[in-house]
Amino acid sequence: MAQSDTVVRILDTAEALFAEKGFAETSLRTITSRAKVNLAAVNYHFGSKKALIQAVFARYLDPFCEAFNTELAVLENKQQTIPLEELLAVMARTTLNVPATKGSLSVFMRLLGLAYTQAQGHMRRYLQENYGQTFLRFTHLLKLSSADLPDAERFWRLHFILGAVVFTMSSLDALRDIALNDYDEKTRIADLVARLLPVVTAAMQAPVPVQPEKIKSLVVSC
């Protein structure tokens, strides 16, 4: 069912303000003022600021997870280890295919970064309860495609990759301007993803580094 103009306006405004100022620093009063609605409208449609934050995430994560679960089912039905490059490419393609307005993917990536650093307990629970199963399906396939990595190493590399993707996509406009001004290159999102995929794939496939304790013992022995 299509959302009303008021709901869309509230979501658009809240999304932009959360990305700009953070969750805690953005008040409902600021959102209603910018969206030109009264507080009663926010309470009627969402009930609380907490529910509004969740609705902002759901607008992207619901269609993403629906499409990604379909893609993951196809990969799982192959009953074979999926090459890492293919698995990451499927995730990238699904992300780009989520319906979004111009610039909104970049804004959502900023929100995703904030979810790691600013999200309160309710937000972590919400993400886990509603989208955790999709993440588990993906990480299971990721584990099979990178079986030589220790679990802890895979955890860190996955979050290094997430950090690189979030920074790149959330800074998209600035990076494209730099590429245009410094290198006379016009960059489409598809071009950027094509460049990013081999980098993150190589990050997952890099040799496991020597642990600091081992480095220290080697230095002492010398």
Average pLDDT, integer, range 23-44: 93
Q: What 3-state class would DSSP assign to 23?
A: coil
Angstrom distance (rounded) from CA 197 to CA 92: 8
Residue 58 identity (one-letter amino acid): A
Higher model confidence: residue 116 or residue 68? 68
In this predicted structure, what is the pLDDT of residue 1? 38
* Helix (H) or strand (E) run with residue 35 in it: helix 28-35
Residue 73 identity (one-letter amino acid): A
Over 70: is that where the pLDDT of 119 sits? no
Q: How far is CA 65 from CA 16, 58, 120, 129, in A?
A: 22, 10, 22, 13
C-beta neighbour count of 163 within 10 angstroms: 12
**High-pLDDT (> 70) share of the chain, %:** 90
- Chain centroid to Cα 116, Å, comes to 10
pLDDT tens, residue by residue, 131-165:
999 999 999 999 999 999 999 999 999 999 988 98
**High-pLDDT (> 90) share of the chain, %:** 61
Over 70: is that where the pLDDT of 102 sits? no
**Which range has the worst mean pLDDT, 99-103, 174-178, 182-186?**
99-103
